[in-house]
Amino acid sequence: RGRQYNGVNPEGRDGFVRFSELVQYFLKLEGTSGRNALVEILAELFMRTPTEDVPPTAYLLQGRLAPYFEPVEIGLGNNYVADAIARAFGSDRATVLERFDRLGDIGEAAAEIAAESGSSPAPTRAPPVREIFDRLLEIARTTGAGSVGAKVETFASLLGELDPLSCNYLCRVPLGRMRLGVGDPTVLDAFSFAKVGDRSLRKGLERAYSETSDLGLVGKTLWEGGIEAVECLGVRVGNPVRPALAERLPSAEAIIAKLGRAAVERKYDGFRCQVHKAGDDIKIFSRNLEDMTASFPEIAEGARRQVVAGTAIFEGEALAYNPLSDEYLPFQQTVRRRRKHGVEETAAELPLRLFAFDILYADGERVMERSYTERHAILEHAVEAGDTILISEAHTTGEPEELLEVFNDSIQHGLEGIVAKRPDSPYQAGARNYNWVKLKRAQAGNLQDTVDCVIVGYIYGRGRRTAFGVGALLVATYDPERDVFPTVTKIGTGLSDVQWREVRERCEPYVSERKPARVESNIEPSVWVEPQVVIEMLADEITRSPVHPTGADEGGQGYALRFPRLVSFRQEDKKPEDVTTVTEIVELYNQQGARTTP
């Protein structure tokens, strides 16, 4: 012990990692253009990370101080971070902001100013990760009148203790711009490599992560009790569970052929809500696991009133509905409710109902392994009749004609189709499989359904569009197994000038100097964009293509979308990892021949 080292401590003998060492790994991660290299770098980091530091390290990798679902924010914007930098290094806000303007990055501005001030602490005195993390948390928890001043002061004192590179990364945390390009599955792989030298633990880790949504908790549990302890984690009220998802099939016949009998429900076009209840304490999570409780006060209130189970986790779709006319309002109306302002007014004007369709946990018991039929019965018991939470009705049938009747009825009510469920299937967190199959209204000449893609680059065009700096977008699908984004098409025509401008604005914060490590592309766009901006698209068909790596075989033949067009921006409710997967694209391709308009 007592061993001194200069920022390198491969065995982690001092029992902690210094923040200045952690940022060296961050730097490496950012400089890497391949996914395997990301895993290697992270595995090396985690091999020397003691238990206590695993959660802070995992959250900081996500650019956060807590799991995604906990709304812990530092509460300092550009100007206040600039104030803190100024205070730490004897400058002023204007000078810092000027530097920021020139460099385009507040972290780099901080690093430059720190370097010029010559205030670099000795490596042996550099603070440990856990200390920096705790003090950041303390800043986040400082609230109330006059708290901004205190936040700036604490942040400034932190900066004053750090070397320039550490200052750079520290400033990115409050601004939500960590952007290391590391996906959660990549961190899980790294956990596995760090502990057993290969990725064999990934499956168990993934399951626990799908059920708890807390990377820090999964890591800490692995370090403390091994994979056995991780496997015992399970769902808990308060931690959002990654939602089960639906597959697609082209027709009623195909669905019945696949499922035999199916419980057919209307497909409500609203917001997926996962409601957690512990007594009077209600939390509502979105499909991408964000805490949306504040946006849906009437649903929370409805859950308090109507849910008789003491503890429960259940799911449904929230949308505006008029019970007198049995009419559902279109998604565009419902979507206004995602706004965080004027919630009470819109709630009064346009109250939402929740069509509950599944239950995962009731009265202290996990019920995910029970059959769909049993869960539906438990759901009906757990929720009392009332006017806010309604139970989604299911019609069980083995006849395609009957399925079509429910489908047509749903369309007549202004909905988009049906979801057919396998009566004996469990609830599998985060899984997309044939336990649930959706059938949506067909649009002539199109693929039957929209696909979601993520923008990974743009290609400058000639002529009028150059004014907006965009000619075509390069977009990608997602491969969850490998945690990579292979491209699938270029989309250029059919966007209005307003849409181009919006594309540009949305992509701007994510422009990257080099190919982001998890992107796979044979095309070199004019500008790379980190996979963040999700768009919903329609296309005429899917073709085999050597141009795009989505689903590429050994000969390099992949799949591409033909004649794609933008339908909407989905960044608000979908994370890049939620876009259409490679497997889905291949399945859509295989289904094309089988399409019969329902």
Instruction: Give the residue with the Cβ less far from ligand AMP, 133 or 357.
Output: 357
> Candidates 199-207, 228-236, 260-268, 330-338 — which segment interacts with ligand AMP by CB under 6 A?
260-268
Best CA proximity match to 81, nearest among 158, 196, 20: 158
**Tokens representing 45?**
């980091």
Q: Of 317, 479, 577, 584, which one interacts with ligand AMP (CB under 6 A)? A: 317
Indicate whether 62 belongs to the interface with ligand AMP (CB under 6 A): no
What's the closest the beta carbon of residue 396 comes to ligand AMP, in angstroms? 13
Alpha-carbon distances, residue 205 vs 52, 70, 194, 292, 317 (angstroms): 18, 20, 13, 26, 29
What's the closest the beta carbon of residue 247 comes to ligand AMP, in angstroms? 9
Best CA proximity match to 594, nearest among 258, 112, 180, 120: 258
What's the closest the beta carbon of residue 267 comes to ligand AMP, in angstroms? 4
Indicate whether 268 belongs to the interface with ligand AMP (CB under 6 A): yes
Indicate whether 258 belongs to the interface with ligand AMP (CB under 6 A): no
Indicate whether 574 belongs to the interface with ligand AMP (CB under 6 A): no
Helices (H), 7-146: 19-30, 35-47, 54-61, 78-89, 93-103, 106-117, 129-141
As a whole number of angstroms, the distance between CA 436 and CA 450 comes to: 18
Instruction: Give the residue with the Cβ less far from ligand AMP, 427 or 500.
Output: 427
What's the closest the beta carbon of residue 491 comes to ligand AMP, in angstroms? 20
The total number of residues written for the chain in this structure: 598
As a whole number of angstroms, the distance between CA 526 and CA 543 comes to: 25
Position closest to ligand AMP via CB: 272
Q: Of 272, 304, 565, 595, which one interacts with ligand AMP (CB under 6 A)? A: 272
As a whole number of angstroms, the distance between CA 264 and CA 438 comes to: 10
**SS3 state at 382:** helix
Indicate whether 87 belongs to the interface with ligand AMP (CB under 6 A): no
What's the closest the beta carbon of residue 408 comes to ligand AMP, in angstroms? 16
Q: Of 265, 298, 530, 577, which one interacts with ligand AMP (CB under 6 A)? A: 265
Show the site string, 354-373: x = touches ligand AMP by CB under 6 A, - = not: ---x----------------
What's the closest the beta carbon of residue 61 comes to ligand AMP, in angstroms? 27
DSSP character at residue 66? S
**Tokens representing 491?**
């989309």
Burial 148-178 (b: 16+ CB within 10 A, else e): eeebbbbbbebbbbbbbbbbbbbbbbbbeeb
Burial 388-397 (b: 16+ CB within 10 A, else e): bbbbbebbeb
What's the closest the beta carbon of residue 246 comes to ligand AMP, in angstroms? 4
In the block, residue with structure tokens 């005429």: 540
Burial 304-327 (b: 16+ CB within 10 A, else e): eebbebebbbbbbbbbbbeeeeee
Sequence-ordered list of residues with C-beta below 8 angstroms from that of 484, at least 6 positions apart, any chain: 35, 478, 518, 519, 520
Indicate whether 184 belongs to the interface with ligand AMP (CB under 6 A): no
Which residues make beta-bridge pairs with 271? 318
Sequence-ordered list of residues with C-beta below 8 angstroms from that of 529, at least 6 positions apart, any chain: 455, 456, 457, 458, 507, 510, 511, 512, 516
> Candidates 76-84, 124-132, 171-179, 240-248 — which segment interacts with ligand AMP by CB under 6 A?
240-248
Instruction: Give the residue with the Cβ less far from ligand AMP, 99 or 266.
Output: 266
Indicate whether 53 belongs to the interface with ligand AMP (CB under 6 A): no
DSSP 390-416: EEPPEEEES-HHHHHHHHHHHHHTT--
Indicate whether 456 belongs to the interface with ligand AMP (CB under 6 A): no
What's the closest the beta carbon of residue 438 comes to ligand AMP, in angstroms? 5
What's the closest the beta carbon of residue 323 comes to ligand AMP, in angstroms? 17
What's the closest the beta carbon of residue 571 comes to ligand AMP, in angstroms? 15
Indicate whether 208 belongs to the interface with ligand AMP (CB under 6 A): no
Catalytic residues: 267
> Candidates 13-21, 214-222, 261-269, 399-407 — which segment interacts with ligand AMP by CB under 6 A?
261-269
**Tokens representing 594?**
């089988």
Q: Of 109, 188, 246, 275, which one interacts with ligand AMP (CB under 6 A)? A: 246
Q: Is 248 exposed, middle or buried (0-12, 13-18, 19+ CB in 10 A)?
A: buried
Instruction: Give the residue with the Cβ less far from ligand AMP, 295 or 521.
Output: 295
As a whole number of angstroms, the distance between CA 534 and CA 575 comes to: 7
Q: Of 267, 277, 376, 490, which one interacts with ligand AMP (CB under 6 A)? A: 267
Indicate whether 277 belongs to the interface with ligand AMP (CB under 6 A): no
Cβ–Cβ contacts within 10 Å for residue 521, how many? 20
Interface with ligand AMP: number of residues (CB under 6 A): 14
> Candidates 41-49, 238-246, 509-517, 546-554 — which segment interacts with ligand AMP by CB under 6 A?
238-246
In the block, residue with structure tokens 């920022």: 7
> Candidates 89-97, 266-274, 473-481, 496-504 — which segment interacts with ligand AMP by CB under 6 A?
266-274
Indicate whether 135 belongs to the interface with ligand AMP (CB under 6 A): no
Indicate whether 419 belongs to the interface with ligand AMP (CB under 6 A): yes
Q: Of 18, 337, 438, 518, which one interacts with ligand AMP (CB under 6 A)? A: 438
Instruction: Give the residue with the Cβ less far from ligand AMP, 222 or 245.
Output: 245
Q: Of 286, 295, 392, 410, which one interacts with ligand AMP (CB under 6 A)? A: 392
Instruction: Give the residue with the Cβ less far from ligand AMP, 161 or 265.
Output: 265
Indicate whether 479 belongs to the interface with ligand AMP (CB under 6 A): no
Indicate whether 589 belongs to the interface with ligand AMP (CB under 6 A): no
Indicate whether 251 belongs to the interface with ligand AMP (CB under 6 A): no
Q: H helices then E strands: how many in the chain?
A: 20, 22
Alpha-carbon distances, residue 34 vs 485, 518, 519, 557 (angstroms): 11, 6, 8, 21
> Candidates 103-111, 265-273, 303-311, 527-535 — which segment interacts with ligand AMP by CB under 6 A?
265-273
The Cα angle at residue 234 between residues 187 and 46, in degrees rounded to 5: 25
Indicate whether 581 belongs to the interface with ligand AMP (CB under 6 A): no
Q: Report the interhelical angle of 400-412 vs 252-259 (nearest 10°).
A: 130
What's the closest the beta carbon of residue 70 comes to ligand AMP, in angstroms? 23
Helices (H), 321-479: 331-334, 343-349, 372-382, 400-412
Residues that bind ligand AMP (CB under 6 A): 243, 245-246, 265-268, 272, 287, 317, 357, 392, 419, 438
